[in-house]
Amino acid sequence: MGRRKKIVQECETLMDEPEHIRNIAIAAHVDHGKTTLSDNLLAGAGMISDETAGEQLAMDTEEDEQERGITIDAANVSMTHEYEGRNHLINLIDTPGHVDFGGDVTRAMRAVDGALVVVDAVEGAMPQTETVLRQALREGVKPALFINKVDRLINELQEGPQEMQQRLMDVIGDVNELIRGMTEEMDDITEDWSVSVEEGTVAFGSALYKWGVSMPSMEATGISFGDIIDMEQNDERDELHERTPLSNVVLDMVAEHFPNPLTAQPFRVPRIWRGDDESEIAEDMRTVNREGDIVFMCTDIGMDPHAGEIATGRVFSGTLKKGQELFVSGTAGRNRIQSVGIYMGGEREELDRGVPAGNIAAVTGLKDAIAGSTVSDVEMTPFESIEHISEPVITKS
């Protein structure tokens, strides 16, 4: 069996195990390394070759767009990752990094439960870091931090272990100040959502050179900051990558610390949906009931020259299947689903089976849906409209 087919089969099995699903987004200030990190994850999951990662081919959809005439403004990918002896299905939504795409970032956040925030170690938290964090937290999406470009601290800034640690702690402190400031006013976030090295919700590394570390990974591999500096300086990056691959470190963090849909939906649904919380549909969404009424939240519409419009989104309840006739919020009549599928390396893979609650699905046939539509088999209160949080406006005086 081909590799791709095998991965599709693994994804199909895991789709039915919500406790092993993680729906995540990567969000960052422009140029902090989101695309390069995404490629590392894809290569680690066997979706693209190791050599290709870092050259930003898979998630950089512009080339793809031109070649195939497809508009993909947020590339979506499903992959599998083994953590503590269990396979996990990681559905990754890439978010546009440019300020103009703020609305897309917010929409992507609605489909996920965890946000991996990437910050450049040299630049630190930037205005857009604040914006993406705010977007994530408003949607009830839990953050974790990846501090990227640590190689620059070593090679460009010539920092030693202590300076480097201090700088990383400063970045973490700044990010936590933002998180605490934002969650303070949110009554339903009672847990401390700040990130911490000790708890393993922070990882550091170099997406360019494909290595990464976290507290748990350093304990497991015995690799210290001193070792990293030596290996970076002695041009032993390939060895560093082999001994502590970035994709493993980050995906372990994702599996361990981001909530699965069973944990996330009971918390997130009241935040993003204001319907009757005593209703059956509320209960179906809270319990991620794949046998329940269908609720699909469309977060993006893309165009495929062969298949037409592709609606991407999160299945909150029920199971989406070909042939279903569903309501699209704000429109009259029903749309018939022509195909359902998942994303693999930016490409859609149609499936013969349905896509159950807790997953990200790619659907054709929803001709009336727009990004933000609630799609359901019974008429229901739609999800809250997705608020676009724009960048702070800087006016010249």
Other beta carbons less than 10 A from residue 236's beta carbon: 14
| Residue range at the interface with ligand GDP (CB under 6 A); choices 25-33, 319-327, 347-355, 362-370 | 25-33
Say if residues 275 and 269 touch (Cβ distance below 8 Å). no
User: Min. distance of Cβ 31 from ligand GDP in angstroms?
Assistant: 4
CA distance 72 to 77: 12
Secondary structure (3-state) at 319: strand
Residues numbered 53 to 92 that lie near ligand GDP (CB under 6 A) are 56
Residues 140-199 that bind ligand GDP (CB under 6 A): 148-149, 151-152
Q: Quick one: 21 or 254, whose CB is closer to ligand GDP?
A: 254
Please report how close the Cβ of residue 162 comes to ligand GDP at its closest, in angstroms: 21
Is residue 206 a contact residue for ligand GDP (CB under 6 A)?
yes
Residue in 136, 208, 255, 342 binding ligand GDP, rule: CB under 6 A:
208
Rounded to whole angstroms, the Cα distance separating 125 from 139 reads 20
Is residue 301 within 8 Å of 348, Cβ to Cβ?
A: no
Q: Using the minimum distance from each CB to ligand GDP, give the nearer residue, 164 or 281.
A: 164
Does residue number 31 form part of the binding site for ligand GDP (CB under 6 A)? yes
In this complex, which beta carbon is closest to ligand GDP, that of residue 22 or of residue 32?
A: 32
What is the C-alpha separation between 53 and 84, in angstroms, rounded?
25
Instruction: Give yes or no for residue 33 binding ligand GDP (CB under 6 A).
Output: yes
Q: What angle do CA 265, 257, 197 make, to 5 degrees?
A: 145
DSSP 8-state class, residue 385 = P
> Which of 45, 207, 315, 326 touches ligand GDP (CB under 6 A)?
207
By rule CB under 6 A, what string of x and - marks binding of each residue 236-255 to ligand GDP? --------------------
Q: Is 322 in the site for ligand GDP (CB under 6 A)?
A: no
User: What is d(CA 252, CA 255) in angstroms, rounded to the nearest whole number?
Assistant: 5
The residues, any chain, with a CB within 8 Å of residue 153's CB and separated by 6 or more, are 121, 122, 159, 163, 164, 167
Mark 339-358 with x for binding to ligand GDP (rule: CB under 6 A) and - for no binding.
--------------------
Residue number with CB closer to ligand GDP (6 or 98)? 98
Is 61 or 324 the residue whose CB approaches ligand GDP more closely? 61
- Min CB(55)–ligand GDP separation in Å: 9
Length of the chain: 397
What sign does the CA torsion over 373, 374, 380, 386 have? negative
32 makes contact with ligand GDP (CB under 6 A): yes
Helix (H) or strand (E) holding 116: strand 114-120
What the block records as the tokens of 211 is 């290595």
Q: Which is nearer to ligand GDP, 214 or 289 (CB)?
A: 214
Could you tell me whether strands 142-148 and 114-120 are parallel, antiparallel, or unpaired per DSSP bridges? parallel
Q: Judged by CB under 6 A, which of 23, 25, 36, 131 binds ligand GDP?
A: 36
Q: Which amino acid is at 159?
A: E
The residues of the shown chain that bind ligand GDP, judged by CB under 6 A, are 28, 30-36, 56, 97, 148-149, 151-152, 206-208
